[in-house]
Amino acid sequence: RAKEIKTKLGTLLQKPDSTIDFIIPYPEKPEKPPKAQKPSPEEALQWRDSLEKLLQNPYGLASFRGFLRSEFSEENAEFWVACEDYKKTKSPVKMAEKAKKIYEEFIQTEAPKEVNIDHFTKAVTMKNLVEPSPTSFDMAQKRIFALMEKDSLPRFVRSEFYHELIK
Contacts 24+ apart (CB under 8 A), 30-35: 30/65, 30/66, 30/69, 30/74, 31/62, 31/65, 32/62, 33/58, 33/59, 33/62, 33/63, 33/66, 34/58, 34/59, 34/62
Whether residue 24 is predicted with pLDDT greater than 60 in this model: the reply is: no
C-alpha dihedral, 76 to 105 to 20 to 128, nearest 10°: -90
Question: Per 3-state DSSP, what percentage of the chain is helix, strand, and coil (rounded to 5)?
Answer: 65, 0, 35
- Average model confidence (pLDDT) across the chain: 84
Confidence class for position 167, pLDDT limits 50, 70, 90: confident
- Give every CB contact of residue 43 below 8 A, 6+ residues apart in sequence: 57
Task: Decide if domain 41-166 falls under CATH 3.40.50.300.
Answer: no
Residue 15: pLDDT band by 50, 70, 90 thresholds? very low
33-80 pLDDT per residue, tens: 445 478 888 889 999 999 999 999 999 999 999 999 998 899 999 999
Q: How far apart are CA 129 and CA 150, in angstroms?
A: 28
Q: What is the model's pLDDT at position 12? A: 53
Predicted pLDDT at 10: 55
Q: What is the dihedral of CA 29, 33, 114, 72, to 10 degrees?
A: 100
Look at 118 and 32; give whichever has higher pLDDT.
118
Q: Please, is 165 exposed, middle or buried when counting C-beta atoms within 10 Å of its C-beta (0-12, 13-18, 19+)?
A: buried
- Checking if the pLDDT of 27 tops 80, the result is no
At residue 6 the predicted structure's pLDDT band, cuts being 50, 70 and 90, is low
Phi-psi region of 110 (alpha: psi -120 to 50; beta: other; left: phi over 0): left
